[in-house]
Amino acid sequence: MKGKLEPSVRQALVEEGKSLKEGLVALEEDLVHLTDKLQQEAQCIPNTTHPDAPIGSEENSILRRMVGSPRDFGFAVKDHLQLGKELDLFDFDAAAEVSGSKFYYLKNEAVLLEMGLINWALAEVSKRGFTPLITPEIVRSSVVEKCGFQPRGQNTQVYSIEGSDQCLIGTAEIPVGGIHMDSILPESSLPLKYVAYSHCFRTEAGAAGTATRGLYRVHQFSKVEMFVFCRPEDSDRYHEELIGIEEDLFASLGLHFKTLDMATGDLGAPAYRKFDVEAWMPGLDRYGEISSASNCTDYQSRRLGIRYRPSPSDPSQASSKKGKGSTPTQFVHTLNATACAVPRMIVCLLENFQQEDGSVLIPEPLRPFMGGLHVIRPKSK
């Protein structure tokens, strides 16, 4: 085109250029659609699993530890729904009218119990070197996806906000995971340990059965979550630390529970290995999950862009240029664990510490966080 050309030849080349430009636009549109489709397919690929994780479905999970034994009551046991009604602690009917099914009002001592559980869990975990956080409860859909959850999938547990790219969080794991998104952390800052309080929102799509009655499975609840960013070689050790903290917390309340090494079929996409704690719930006459602890290795950090720069073994290798070192960066490992999922803890406490006269004892560790309250008694008429 820059040389001398016959007008007819030049015009033909101009037309060819226009055609190429239009074709390129169409190809770029196809590329955007294909890239999005490829990204969605790639997000369906789960993390690898720990070589010691039991293989199979949930029933293949292995018992790691059993703490305590079921209490012998010596009287007819009530479930938390009956106890809550007699002690005037919940109102599910009004909440169903106001918000829909699987919502609830907490009343009277149940309010103190929720606040007490939250402050107790935050205080106990903070003592162990965790930084307390209160997180945003609305996050971008992209952050939800990068943490390994599927806001756009069928049977999603995520509430999406119409007309925006935002979602309500199902766990504080998501906003805490994003707190260092697209960052390079110095090795000296690791491990970073957080304990976060938030409300959580879940659709509970597909949930059914007797275990969904009352507080066991609800759309909105309060939770205290632990989260760790660490070096890859340390994540197995911190996984053991997290499950140890959970076990210490629940044992200190006098609960009977078991810890399970969960089988591969029960692991969510991000989890490399997961330990669940299931507490005995007399009203349900079964064990119910009250917490879990997951090692997600670098599954989330790769998506979130969270790296760390190892300290150089030879200080002379460090470069002072713009503060960047010559040592290659690595992805951190992320871990999460539930310190206290409030509704299920309320179920456990009411059902396990009920008395024959209809009252419920408050475990001693919680009393300082409930104004010294020792017992919840039936209201006098």
Please pick, among 198, 301, 344, 351, the residue that the annotation labels catalytic: 344
Please pick, among 217, 273, 303, 307, the residue that the annotation labels catalytic: 217
Q: Annotation-wise, does 188 bind a ligand?
A: no
Is residue 292 part of the annotated active site? The answer reads yes
Please pick, among 86, 252, 289, 367, the residue that the annotation labels catalytic: 289
Q: Annotation-wise, does 225 bind a ligand?
A: yes
Q: Annotation-wise, does 292 bind a ligand?
A: yes
Is residue 289 part of the annotated active site? The answer reads yes
Are 305 and 182 in contact by the 8 Å Cβ rule? The answer is yes
Q: Nearest 5°: phi and psi at 252?
A: -65, -25
Say how far residue 184 (Cα) sits from the centre of its chain. Answer: 23
Is residue 356 part of the annotated active site? The answer reads no
Q: Annotation-wise, does 237 bind a ligand?
A: no
Could you give the CA distance from residue 271 to residue 254 in angstroms, rounded to a whole number? 29
Is residue 173 part of the annotated active site? The answer reads no
Could you give the CA distance from residue 235 to residue 291 in angstroms, rounded to a whole number? 19
Two structure tokens written together for 310: 């190892």
Which string of b and e fits 124-156 if b means at least 16 CB within 10 Å? bbeeeebeebebeeebbbbbbbbbbbbbeeeeb
Give me the count of residues in the chain. 381
Q: Annotation-wise, does 22 bind a ligand?
A: no
Q: Annotation-wise, does 58 bind a ligand?
A: no
Is residue 152 part of the annotated active site? The answer reads no
Please pick, among 61, 235, 292, 294, the residue that the annotation labels catalytic: 292
Q: Annotation-wise, does 203 bind a ligand?
A: yes
Q: Annotation-wise, does 109 bind a ligand?
A: no
Q: Annotation-wise, does 65 bind a ligand?
A: no
Please pick, among 202, 273, 303, 309, the residue that the annotation labels catalytic: 202
Which string of b and e fits 219-240 if b means at least 16 CB within 10 Å? bbbbbbbbbbbbbeebbbebbe
Q: Annotation-wise, does 291 bind a ligand?
A: yes
Q: Annotation-wise, does 220 bind a ligand?
A: yes
Give binding residues as ranges: 171, 202-204, 218-221, 225, 289-292, 336
- Residues with a catalytic annotation lie at 202, 217, 289, 292, 344
Binding-site sequence positions for L-serine = 171, 202, 225, 336
- Numbered residues of the known binding site for ATP: 202-204, 218-221, 289-292
